[in-house]
């Protein structure tokens, strides 16, 4: 049997060196059953590992030195805290960047959609003015409005989906730009023949 206080002293190297054989088994048994000492053992292992990487070994001290100074422990603990703080900073930065990009992405997608949607309407207006076939044009207009409503619903669903993933959004924006370019190219009026 071993007392909790003794176990803690062995685990934190306060007694110097490793416990003798008979005490070692008792210590292992105690750690298995005592969660407080288990936490201390794990913490001490981390500190030992950090000290092993931060202090150069000599040949006669190939093993971690059992007696570490308070200063060394403080350095190791501070290093550990600094690393976890840096990781937390990175995590927060990434999160805020994603938050900032989300509304911007939605705005770009919406702008692309409205630009695309306004082109057929503009062309339709020109057709009405040029042909004077108002009744027929209105029927077409209604069909176009129906079509645009369906298209708007599909795109709205697309935008909601896209804002969840910035990469997907970039892809959608790219496709919209390409489609706009193709549309403008196809709808360009034929060149006037000179002298007519």
Q: How far is the CB of 53 from Zn ion (least distance, A)?
A: 28
Structure-block tokens of residue 77: 């603990």
- Which of 11, 27, 37, 172 binds Zn ion (CB under 5 A)? It is 37
* Collapsed DSSP state (helix, strand, coil) of residue 115: helix
Does residue 47 interact with Zn ion by CB under 5 A?
A: no
Q: CB-wise, 4 or 182, nearer to Zn ion?
A: 4
* Collapsed DSSP state (helix, strand, coil) of residue 61: helix
Q: How far is the CB of 37 from Zn ion (least distance, A)?
A: 3
* Collapsed DSSP state (helix, strand, coil) of residue 78: helix
Q: CB-wise, 42 or 165, nearer to Zn ion?
A: 42
Q: CB-wise, 41 or 159, nearer to Zn ion?
A: 41
Does residue 4 interact with Zn ion by CB under 5 A?
A: yes
Interatomic CA distance for residues 81 and 88, integer angstroms:
11
Q: CB-wise, 37 or 159, nearer to Zn ion?
A: 37
Q: CB-wise, 34 or 173, nearer to Zn ion?
A: 34
Total of chain residues touching Zn ion, rule CB under 5 A? 4
Stretch that binds Zn ion, among 37-45, 112-120, 127-135, 188-196 (CB under 5 A): 37-45
Task: Count Cβ atoms below 10 Å from residue 37 Cβ, excluding itself.
Answer: 19
Q: How far is the CB of 40 from Zn ion (least distance, A)?
A: 8
Residues 17-36 that bind Zn ion (CB under 5 A): 34
Q: In the 8-state DSSP scheme, what is residue 164?
A: T
Instruction: Answer yes or no: are the C-beta atoms of 124 and 140 closer than 8 Å.
Output: yes
Stretch that binds Zn ion, among 2-10, 51-59, 120-128, 143-151 (CB under 5 A): 2-10
Burial of 75 (0-12, 13-18, 19+ CB in 10 A): middle
| Alpha helices by DSSP H, the chain | 4-11, 21-33, 35-54, 70-131, 134-163, 166-186
Q: Name the site residues for Zn ion (rule: CB under 5 A).
A: 4, 7, 34, 37
């Amino acid at each position: 049997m071993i007392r909790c206080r003794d176990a803690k002293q062995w685990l934190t190297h306060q007694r110097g060196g490793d416990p003798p054989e008979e005490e070692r088994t008792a210590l292992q048994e105690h750690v298995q059953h005592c969660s407080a000492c288990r936490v201390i053992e794990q913490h001490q292992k981390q500190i030992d590992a950090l000290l092993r990487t931060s202090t150069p070994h000599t040949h006669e001290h190939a093993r971690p030195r059992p007696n570490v100074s308070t200063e060394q422990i403080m350095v190791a603990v501070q290093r550990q805290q600094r690393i976890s703080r840096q990781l937390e900073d990175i995590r927060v930065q990434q999160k805020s960047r994603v938050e900032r990009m989300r509304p911007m992405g939605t705005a770009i997608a919406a702008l692309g959609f409205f630009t695309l949607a306004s082109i057929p309407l503009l062309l339709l207006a020109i057709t009405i003015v040029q042909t004077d076939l108002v009744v027929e044009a209105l029927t077409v207009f209604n069909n176009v409005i129906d079509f645009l409503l369906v298209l708007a619903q599909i795109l709205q669903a697309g935008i909601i989906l896209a804002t969840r993933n910035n990469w997907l959004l970039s892809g959608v924006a790219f496709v919209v730009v390409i489609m706009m370019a193709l549309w403008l190219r196809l709808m360009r009026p034929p060149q006037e023949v000179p002298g007519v």
